[in-house]
DNA sequence: CGTCCCTTAGTT
DNA sequence: AACTAAGGGACG
């Protein structure tokens, strides 16, 4: 039912992929110990992941912010379009492909979810004011970023039915994502 | 553990 | 100033 429309949107996104070329997948030093990409596709390696162990005696806790390449962002966004929640191995696979760490992918998806949530809230406020709600799903722009519904996954685990009633159509989309996420193995 | 949420801080 | 990667705490 819904998957058809969703996939249609995905196709749109893919065909009209706004990725500014850049075939680069520059190495992103995994600032994290857990789950690093085991296969390095592109050779040039970091050589500076030494900071994690306290070898840098007392250089402050400088936050190391990695700048994702356009190719990486494009791939992440494309994936997010159709799947907002990835399970462990899906994230590992994706991180390996993009040469990012597992934690980076996990963090990116979380941040993206929050961003989406913020965006939705603003949209809702907008429509709440004067512009009346025309439809349910069609209110959101179809092309990137096509932020459909968001929802709360933690409560999905706990009380699925409760939230399903609460969010209705919005939840339906989300629960579909979660469902495919959990059961697609 | 993963996620939500808020916060911090690097990059543009 | 906006965006957003990453840190940290709370919760299940």
Convert the pLDDT of each residue in A116-171 to its tens digit.
999 888 877 767 664 444 443 333 343 233 334 333 344 444 433 333 333 333 43
* Whole-number Å distance between alpha carbons of A144 and A146: 5
In the predicted structure, residue A25 carries a pLDDT above the cut 80? no
- Give Cβ neighbours of residue A36 (< 8 Å, ≥ 6 apart): A30, A101, A102
A162 touches strand C (CB under 7 A): no
Q: Which nucleotide is nearest to A157 (CA to C1')?
A: C12
Choose among A54, A53, A36, A56: nearest CA to A45. Answer: A36
CA A147 → C1' B6, Å? 22
Q: What angle do CA A38, A154, A77 make, to 5 degrees?
A: 50
pLDDT for the residue A183: 39
Asked whether the beta carbons of A98 and A76 are under 8 A apart, the reply is: yes
In the predicted structure, residue A19 carries a pLDDT above the cut 50? yes
Instruction: List pLDDT tens digits, range A62-72.
Output: 788 999 999 99
pLDDT for the residue A31: 57
In the predicted structure, residue A93 carries a pLDDT above the cut 50? yes
A117-146 residues near strand C (Cβ < 7 Å)? none
Choose among A117, A75, A81, A112: nearest CA to A97. Answer: A75
CA A92 → C1' B7, Å? 27
pLDDT for the residue A14: 40
**Max Cα distance, chain A (Å):** 59
Q: Find which of A4-13, A102-111, A117-126 is predicted with most confidence, using mean pLDDT.
A: A102-111
Instruction: List pLDDT tens digits, range A36-92.
Output: 544 343 333 333 343 444 444 445 567 889 999 999 999 999 999 999 999 999 999
Record the pTM.
0.61
A117 touches strand B (CB under 7 A): yes
């Amino acid at each position: 039912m819904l998957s058809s429309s969703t996939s249609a949107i995905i196709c749109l996104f893919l065909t009209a992929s706004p990725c500014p070329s850049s075939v680069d997948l520059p190495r992103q030093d995994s600032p994290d110990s857990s789950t690093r990409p085991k296969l390095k596709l592109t050779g040039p390696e970091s050589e500076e992941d030494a900071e994690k162990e306290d070898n840098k005696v007392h250089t402050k806790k400088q936050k190391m912010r990695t700048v994702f390449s356009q190719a990486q962002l494009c791939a992440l966004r494309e994936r997010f379009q159709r799947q907002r929640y990835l399970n462990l191995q899906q994230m590992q696979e994706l991180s390996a492909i993009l040469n990012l760490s597992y934690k980076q992918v996990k963090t990116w998806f979380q941040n993206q979810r929050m961003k989406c949530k913020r965006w939705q809230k603003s949209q809702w406020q907008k429509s709440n004011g004067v512009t009346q709600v025309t439809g349910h799903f069609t209110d959101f722009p179809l092309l990137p970023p096509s932020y459909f519904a968001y929802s709360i996954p933690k409560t999905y685990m706990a009380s699925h039915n409760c939230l399903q009633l609460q969010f209705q159509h919005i939840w339906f989309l989300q629960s579909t994502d979660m469902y495919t996420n959990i059961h697609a193995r």
